[in-house]
Each structure stands twice: as C-alpha cells, then as structure tokens.
Amino acid sequence: MIEIKDVHKSFGDLEVLKGIDLDVNSGEVVSIIGASGSGKSTLLYCINAIEKINSGKIIVDGVDVHNKKTDKNKLRQNLGMVFQQWNSFPHLTVLENAALAPQIVKGFTKAEAEEIARKELIHVGLGDKLNEYPTRMSGGQQQRLAIARALAMEPPYMLFDEVTSALDPELVGEVLDTLRLLRDDGMTMICVTHEISFAKEVSDKVAFFHEGLIEEIGSPEEVLDNPQRERTQQFLSKVL
C-alpha cells in the first residue's frame, strides 16, 4: 500500500504540492488528471524519491520513503516508473535494456536476467525485437520497452507519468493496450494521464489535481461523469 500524507513540495518559492493526501491499495489503479503544472508528475517523482519533499510523509509498504535511513535504491526496486520520454539506453539491444537492472541491481546472472527480461518483453509484445536496437524502433515500441524494463525488476507498484503524451496519435493505442494488460494482471498502478477515456476505463479511483491540491477524488463515474467541483467541470469541459 502507498500512503501519501499531507505532502508539501516546493521548487524555490514555488509551492507545487500544497498538502496531498492519497492512499493507493494493492491491486488498485489510480489515475491522476489535471492541467499542466498542477503537480501531478511531481507527486510521482516524490513517491519514487527522485524528488525530495518539504514536509509530510510518503509510506510504501510501511517504509517511510523520505526517511534519511531509507535505502532509496532498494525502495525504487519496488516502484517501477515509466516516464513521458522512454529513455531507452541506445547502446544496448532491447533485451539488454530490460536485463541490465535485474543483473546489476538485483544481482541475477546474465542468463537469469535475460530470461526475466525476455518474459516481460514478450508480455508487452516485443518478443520479435529482442536483438534490435531501440533507436530503430517507433516511439510506441520504445515506450513498451520502457514498461518491460521497469517490469523486469518485478516491482509490486508501477508509476506512469504521462506515458503517451510524447507519442504520435497512432502509437498511443499500443501503449494503452499494454497498460490494460497490466491492469488485468492485477498490478497496482498510479497513472498520471491526459487520456480521460482511458482513465475512465481502467481506474478504480480518479484524482483531479488543481494547483498542487487534490480538488476532487472518487470513482471514475463520480469524478469524470458527475464532477461536483466547478474546477473539475471546467477542466473536463476543455479536454473532453
């Protein structure tokens, strides 16, 4: 379970998160929507300890993420993250990309790491690209590689930061299909997304962020079909 309690985060004078409270239970899919600059991505970075927080607490399976004594590298093994840009390692093949972290971080042998990587790559539909270099693949394929690379660490949680927003429209579908696949596998996911219809389809909970606060949170039906807050209504009227 991920517990986020009154989290504040500032960049200089700019307070990006102004007191976020959110619980994500195991097996749950939570989508975070909101305008650019509302703090959605920053929250994911804080959950993964890529960014420090100013106050509050983030607890993952009982571990206080921002405690100085917490081993951040170990913690991140449980929190797979996929970014807007796929960030494939261009010097490695698809298989090597996905096998690198299991090998050097988890200490698997090369053969073991490649076996895990192969399984995840086949799972996301890249079984025929194992020996290809990522720069020769489309954005959608590279994003699926990024997902498989994160999954190869076998994390119980996955964080997705606008994973389709850098893709050409015709490539969005294949990445969303991969996320649906993970939802069907029972993966716990937090998805920052602009794909409202996708959020409606896959989420157990949808949170609407506005200026560093959760303006409205609830089931997709509550937040997306019958929003109670004026700002949610305004946002949805612009994006739908």
Partner 1 sequence: MDLFTPLSWNDTGFILTGVLNTVFISVVAILVGTVLGLAVGFVRAESSKSVNILLGGFLDILRSVPLIIQLILFSTFIGAMGYPLDPFVAGSIILSLYTMAFMGEVFRSGFNSVPMAMRKAARSLGMSYWQTVRYVRVPIGMRAVFPSWLGVALSVIKDSALVSVIGYMELLRTAEQLISRTQQPLMILIGVGLFYFMISYPLSLYGKHVERKMEI
Is residue 146 at the binding interface for partner 1, with CB under 8 A as the rule? Answer: yes
When binding is defined by CB under 8 A, the residue of 22, 24, 43, 101 that contacts partner 1 is 101
Q: Which uninterrupted H or E stretch holds 165? A: none
Is residue 153 at the binding interface for partner 1, with CB under 8 A as the rule? Answer: yes
Which listed range, 76-84, 109-117, 194-202, 220-228, lies at the site for partner 1 (CB under 8 A)? 76-84
CA-closest candidate to residue 88, choices 46, 11, 144 = 144
Under 8 Å between Cβ of 44 and 24 = no
Residues that contact partner 1, how many (by CB under 8 A): 27
Which listed range, 52-60, 62-70, 88-96, 185-193, lies at the site for partner 1 (CB under 8 A)? 88-96
Dihedral of CA atoms 152, 155, 158, 163 in degrees, nearest 10, equals -20
Return all residues near 150 (Cβ < 8 A) that are at least 6 apart.
80, 81, 82, 158
Please say which residue, 66 or 149, places its beta carbon nearer to partner 1: 149
Cβ of residue 42: shortest distance to partner 1, in angstroms? 13
CA–CA distance from 225 to each of 29, 196, 230 (Å)? 18, 11, 13
Q: Which residues bind partner 1 (CB under 8 A)?
A: 48, 50, 73-74, 76-77, 79-81, 83, 85, 87, 89-91, 100-101, 104-106, 133, 135-136, 146, 149-150, 153
